[in-house]
Every structure is written in C-alpha cells, then in structure tokens.
Amino acid sequence: MRILIINPNTSERMTAKIRAVAEAAKRDDCEVTVICPTRGPGTIESSYDEAYAIAPTIDLVKQANEEDYDAIILACFCDVGIEAAKEISSIPVLSLEETVLSIALLLGNKFGIMTEKRPRVAMKELHVRRHGLLERMASIRSRCRWLSWMPTLNVPRLRVWPWRIAW
C-alpha cells in the first residue's frame, strides 16, 4: 500500500516530524511519502492560513491520484480542504481532525479538544459543528502553562499527536 501524507503548511521542519512518526507507525508492507506544498502558509494558525493552504493542498491531492497512491492523509488537525479533496479524489482521503473525532466517539460518549491558541477555540467549535458533533463535545480548551508536560505524553496504540488529544 502506498500512502501520501500531506502536511498542508510549508514547514519542512514539521514535515520531517510527521515523516518520522509515519515511518515509525507504518506496517512493513506500507510505503509512506510525506510532503508539503512549496507555496502557502508556513503554519496554519488562523482561518486565513486555512484558506491560503487549500489550493496548494488540492494540487498535491491531484498529484497523488495521478501517481497511483492508494490513500491520502491530510496531516493537519483543521482538515484543510478536506471536502474539496474528497470531491476530486478517486482514492480515500483521510484527515486528522475528522479521523480523531471519529476515534474519540468510539472511545466514549463525549470528547474534548485542546488547541494551541485561544482564538482557535471558536474555529474548532465551527469544525465540530460542521461534523455534526456539537452535542457530543465536552469542551474545547486552549493550551495553558499546565500543558507543558504534553510533548512527553506517550500513547503508542492510538498514535495521536501529543499536542492534540481527543478522549
């Protein structure tokens, strides 16, 4: 199986981190390629950044379809362009936010989201509403000082990003 993982921002540093996690988590019979666009935002921290990242991300989704990948993963918790990506793709497109929310619902009746900045709380609520899950959401919290231990969290079975947790 060949999987293309797209980091929708242009950060090579973040792309390298995603690549390391993907390589450690993949099965032996799976080939993963992790890329990021050459244009777009350096990070995705606002609605503007999300919008700016969509076109370059969709270009990479088209490329994956042309290069006979078996699946695409959009490696960003805000699901940049997921609807458009699914619309134009003939192969499965998974996104972190949608996937994590789905897994969270399997693990419990309610879920919560931690996000890096307070202004993102309202945007995350809009995303949860878009998925039709507002009634199942316990809370959305922005990162605080007490979360300084988060990067050391180890949850190998779920393979979640340590700074984003759903429960």
Here the CATH number for the domain that contains residue 19 is: 3.40.50.12500
Output 12-15 pairs: Cβ under 8 A, ≥24 positions apart.
12/36, 14/43
Res. 161: pLDDT tops 70:
no
Number of domains the chain is built from = 2
Task: Using the 3D structure, point to which of 48, 80, 96 is the last residue of a domain.
Answer: 96
Per-residue pLDDT averaged across 157-163, rounded? 43
**Are 62 and 116 found together in one domain?**
no
How many of the other CB atoms lie within 10 Å of CB of 137?
19
Q: Which of 77-81, 93-97, 139-143 has the highest mean pLDDT?
A: 93-97
pLDDT, one tens digit per residue, over 14-54 is 999 999 999 999 999 999 999 999 999 999 988 899 999 99
Stronger pLDDT, 149 or 131, i.e. the higher one:
131
**Are 124 and 50 found together in one domain?**
no
Tell me if 6 is assigned to some domain. yes
**Are 26 and 91 found together in one domain?**
yes
> How far apart are alpha carbons 36 and 6 in whole angstroms?
6
Tell me if 165 is assigned to some domain. no
Q: Structural domain of residue 62, as residue ranges?
A: 2-96
Q: Which pLDDT score, from 0 to 100, does residue 123 have?
A: 85
Tell me if 7 is assigned to some domain. yes
Strand order in the sheet with 2-6: 31-35, 2-6, 71-74, 93-95
Q: Which of 14-23, 41-50, 107-116, 158-167 has the lowest mean pLDDT?
A: 158-167
**Are 16 and 40 found together in one domain?**
yes
**Are 104 and 88 found together in one domain?**
no
**Are 63 and 130 found together in one domain?**
no
